[in-house]
Chains A and B, each alone.
Chain A
Amino acid sequence: MNQECCWNREVIAAGECPNIGDDDKSLLSSLRRRVLEKCCDCALFKQDLVRFSESRHPLAPVFSLIHAEFQQQKTQIQSLASFLDNKTLEMRFMHELGSVLQSSVDLDEVLSVALTAITAGKGFGMNRAFLLLTDREEGVLHGYFGIGPRDLEEASQVWNEIAQNDMDLQTLAQNFRLNKLSAERAKFHNVLEQLTVPLANKDHVIIKALDGRHPVRIEGAFQHPDVPPELARLLGVDTFLLMPLISRNRRVGMIVADNCITHRTITDEDMHSLETFGFPVAFAIERASLYDKLQVELNRVTEAGKKLKEQQEVIVKMENMALVGRITSSIAHSVRNPLMIIGGFARSMLKNSSASDPKRTFIESIVDETRQLEGVLDEILNYSDSIYPTRDFWDVNQLIETALRDSADILTSLGYATGYSPGHDLQPVFIDFKQLSYCLRTILLNDIGGIGEDRTLAIFSQSGENVVTITIEDRSRHISQMELDRLLVPFSETRDLGTGLGMALCKTMLEKQGIPLSVQADEHEGLHYTIVLPTRKEEQP
């Protein structure tokens, strides 16, 4: 039998077998490998087999049978090898994806990885994907994020870029998150807004798929009885995939994916792979969401801790206030009562002594000194009272009228005329009423000296933005601005100009409440006081 194939030669020259290329030159010297790898599928070998069958050799039919079976087995092995190769790639991809998803608690990072995996060529290779998340409070599934090209031109550009850079999934996702996340979100804003479906709408195809908990491939979307026409129009594709994201029986969300550019068929294999991928994605999304909530709660707890600390400080302050109160009360009674008794009896004795009594001068000295000591005691007690203001909302008119009423007798006796012009729509002011009353009385009765002829005190109130301004014009008292400034310093040595602490104490009291006191002095025009009172708590220091 003349054979055309080279199966009977141990070694052949290059070009003698049409199935051996330049890459397979090692086969030229190996008969065994050449027969097993090439000859079985070679047309020349098959012709030799036909001739062998025609030779009626008894082994010919058996040999043909073995050859056919060998070919079939070989095809099956090749198919299995290809399947295993694919599975290996898929396993590697899933491993890479899993390690990224498991290590992240940032929702945006998780979403970037998940959606990049769905759309990347190295991943599931879908053209476009939308993520819808479940909002349990609102009872809706709402469009949260989208990824993919809008048209062929954009697709070509993106895919070329990816192909050139040859990045792994993690790098691809990181790159996407850093450079494209915001743009993609904005790009699909309109689509995402319309992709909101109430969870109660059980007939909607997306909710049906979510409740069914398995991926659903929609074909013929424009004519599909379960697909609302507006959804088909919105996506603009005839075929798409719905992949529910379920974590521990909870409906986390839904991925809607399609091949809007290539129109590649979505296979059963795609569905199965995506279903496997859906579990870790759902878990990672839920974990990231929980982490976000945990962060919110942590911030709340931190805030509560901060407030608690502030409250503790307030309690300590109040304890200090109580201590100051007890001390001042003790001083008031320990010092004032004896002073009062000494001064009172001295006055009584003075009243009953004759002008020629040689001891009258001594008694007058006792009266003067006790009066002076009473004045000092008043100032010290008022100063200690100013350390911790107690603020609340008060009516400005009540404040001014109270101060005027308390000062009326003294002012009248000095020949003063007072007038108050209240402003319109005055808001309640946030102040320490006692301290403000004291300050107004002190200003009204302020004995700075140099009383002029014009004995009028004009008071005005005016509403402003979050404030009420009180203005007091006193034309009777004349002092230079420099002397006034000295007078406003606590315990400054200006005794000849006034009572020493009164005005400075007013300034301190007001400053502690964050209330500015402005006093303008003019030797001819008199004094002009401006007090700006807050109407809101947050205006306080």
Chain B
Amino acid sequence: MNRLLVVDDEANIRLLYAEELKDEGYEVVTAASGAEALDKLQGSVFDLAVLDIKLKNESGIELLQKLVKERHDMPVILCSAFSCYKDDFSAWLADGYVVKSGDLTELKQEIGRVLAKKALKVKEV
């Protein structure tokens, strides 16, 4: 079972993601801040992280940079409330980008695509 780390400062969004993604067969761990996310990453292995770009009092992009630096083998999907970040350089560091929506189909498809890509990469190695 793939382990996902969901980072979002909104409790209800974390709850929604957790419920929906568990239904898809993932093990979901949530974090409300960058510090909590980094803390949970210590000693644990995650297959993928879903990260909100705008966290309370901190930038998700900065957290993305830390995650890529420290856990470069863990793919990250960015979630944002608005689409303009999609074409922003800073967001290109992520493996996927999804605009937040009540319809989580796109997010689920993106998670599936990124994990499949990761699995293919591991197989090639």
Contact = CB atoms under 8 A, between A and B. Distances in A.
A347 B102 contact: yes
B103 interface: yes
B102 A434 contact: no
Contacts of A328: 82
Contacts of B124: none
14 contacts: A329-B54, A332-B81, A332-B82, A340-B100, A341-B10, A341-B16, A341-B102, A344-B103, A367-B102, A370-B102, A381-B84, A402-B87, A433-B87, A434-B88
Given A329-B54, A347-B103, 14 more contacts: A329-B81, A332-B82, A337-B81, A337-B100, A340-B100, A341-B10, A341-B12, A344-B20, A345-B12, A348-B16, A374-B102, A381-B82, A434-B88, A438-B83
Contacts of A409: 109
A340 B87 contact: no
Contact of A381 (B13, B20, B83, B109): B83
Interface of B: 10, 12-13, 16, 19-20, 54, 80-84, 86-88, 99-104, 109
A335 B82 CA distance: 11
Interface residues of A, number: 31
Contacts of A371: 102-103
A335 to B, nearest CB: 8
Contacts of B84: 381-382, 385, 434
Contacts of A329: 54, 81-82
A340 B13 contact: yes
A343 B13 CA distance: 11
A343 B101 contact: yes
A36 interface: no
Given A344-B16, A348-B20, A437-B87, A336 B81 contact: yes
A348 B23 CA distance: 10
A433 B99 CA distance: 18
Contact of A346 (B12, B86, B102): B102
A152 to B, nearest CB: 81
A406 B110 CA distance: 12
Interface in A292-342: 328-329, 332-333, 336-337, 339-342
A520 to B, nearest CB: 28
A337 to B, nearest CB: 5
A378 interface: yes
Nearest to A333: B81
A305 B29 CA distance: 59
B82 A336 contact: yes
Nearest to B106: A409
- The prevalent SS among residues of A at the interface is helix
A367 B105 CA distance: 14
A432 to B, nearest CB: 9
Contacts of A434: 84, 86-88
Given A333-B54, A336-B100, A434-B87, A345 B16 contact: yes
A402 B92 CA distance: 12
A370 B16 CA distance: 15
B87 to A, nearest CB: 4
Contacts of A333: 54, 81
A460 B14 CA distance: 44
A328 B19 CA distance: 29
- The listed residue with most A CB atoms (<10 A of its CB), out of B19, B81, B87, B101, is B81
A437 B101 CA distance: 21
A321 to B, nearest CB: 12
A340 B82 contact: no
A470 to B, nearest CB: 17
A492 to B, nearest CB: 23
Given A343-B102, A347-B104, A378 B83 contact: yes
Contacts of A367: 102
Given A333-B54, A348-B19, A434-B88, A382 B83 contact: yes
A422 to B, nearest CB: 20
Contacts of A336: 81-82, 100
Contact of B103 (A343, A345, A382): A343
A385 B13 CA distance: 25
Contact of A337 (B10, B83, B103): B10
Contact of B102 (A342, A381, A382, A433): A342
Contacts of B102: 339-344, 346-347, 367, 370-371, 374
A433 B92 CA distance: 14
A363 to B, nearest CB: 12
Contacts of A337: 10, 13, 81, 100
A378 B102 CA distance: 13
Contacts of B13: 337, 340-341, 344
A346 B20 CA distance: 12
Contacts of B12: 341, 345
A474 to B, nearest CB: 22
A385 B83 CA distance: 10
A116 B88 CA distance: 71
Q: Which 6 residue pairs of A and B lie closest in terms of their CB atoms, listed nearest first?
A: A343-B102, A332-B81, A434-B87, A336-B81, A332-B82, A344-B16
A527 to B, nearest CB: 24
A345 B17 CA distance: 10
Contacts of B100: 336-337, 340
Interface string A373-395: 01000100110010000000000
A374 B82 CA distance: 10
Contacts of B88: 434
Nearest to A343: B102
A409 B86 CA distance: 16
